[in-house]
Chains A and B, each alone.
Chain A
Amino acid sequence: MGEEEIAVLSPFLETVTIVCIVGISISIFILIYRVLKGPTNPDRAVALDAIGVNLMALAGLLAILLVTTKFNDVILLIGILLFIGTIAIAKFLEKGVIIDRDRD
């Protein structure tokens, strides 16, 4: 049993993936600048949302680089948690409460 074929990545694909990882890292650093410097809180919320999307892309590229499919659940998980977190931040910025008590 335990004989697993070690998949190798073609050199071209590896180069392209590393270039993409570097590009996304630069994008995350620029977004971190927006998070730290952003004049208002909604600016920071949008920048954090975009950082999360970039993190999803980074996980996907890492899955290509490591030749594994185990990261696919992680990508979906980041997307779902990002959505819920962004909605929570948006509700807090708009109303001040996240789960409101009585709605008619």
Chain B
Amino acid sequence: MRTNDLILRTTTALIAFILLGFSIYLFLAGHQSPGGGFIGGLMTSAAIVLMYMAYGLEPIAKIIPVNFKLMIPAGLLIAALTGVGSFVFGESFLSQTYGHFHLPLFGDIELATAMLFDLGVYLTVIGVTLTIMLTIAGDE
């Protein structure tokens, strides 16, 4: 039986963008206010789960052709490489630094290497959460 969820689908199409934007905001704001890689990854996976709930398993797998199981080792690799990368500059493992850069659109901003570690956490959380969700949902 096909049901008609026009309202759910339209709402999802509008809200998924807000959710993804909010998750990126949480990811970038984690240095000086609440947020960070973990909660940003959770919000991104919540947005993708909402899209899965509204549109079903097959269409979203076609729209987002990402193997979420591969995101876990990718995130872990990024997080480990940021730790190893400090050996290049003769520092100890996982030491961090920051610097001020002048970007054309944003002006003077402070970029820290802790954000690269956060990126690894972000990808790992997305991969773990969506792997759990889709493994449970794909069971018949």
Chain B interface size, under 10 / 10 to 19 / 20 to 34 / 35 or more = 20 to 34
Stretch at the interface among B52-60, B69-77, B92-100, B118-126: B52-60
When distances are taken between beta carbons in the complex, the residues of chain B under 8 Å from A102 are 56-58
- Out of B2, B19, B52, which one reaches A99, CB within 8 Å? B52
How distant is A21 from chain B, measured CB to nearest CB, in Å?
22
Contact of B138 with A by CB under 8 A: yes
The B contact surface, by secondary structure, is helix
Contact of A37 with B by CB under 8 A: no
When distances are taken between beta carbons in the complex, the residues of chain B under 8 Å from A101 are 56-58, 138, 140
When distances are taken between beta carbons in the complex, the residues of chain A under 8 Å from B10 are none
Counted as pairs of residues, one from A and one from B, with CB atoms less than 8 Å apart, the total is: 57
- A31 vs B139: C-alpha distance when bound (angstroms): 35
Contact A70:B33 (CB < 8 A) given known A80-B22, A84-B46: yes
- A95 vs B26: C-alpha distance when bound (angstroms): 34
Contact A81 B46 (CB under 8 A): yes
- A91 vs B54: C-alpha distance when bound (angstroms): 9
How distant is A59 from chain B, measured CB to nearest CB, in Å?
12
The A contact surface, by secondary structure, is helix
Contact B33 A73 (CB under 8 A): yes
When distances are taken between beta carbons in the complex, the residues of chain A under 8 Å from B56 are 99-103
Chain A interface size, under 10 / 10 to 19 / 20 to 34 / 35 or more = 20 to 34
Nearest A residue (CB) for B5:
A91
How distant is B50 from chain A, measured CB to nearest CB, in Å?
5
Q: Taking beta carbons and an 8 Å cutoff, which residues of B are in contact with A?
A: 2-3, 8, 15, 19, 22, 26, 29, 33-35, 39, 43, 46, 49-50, 52-59, 133-134, 137-138, 140
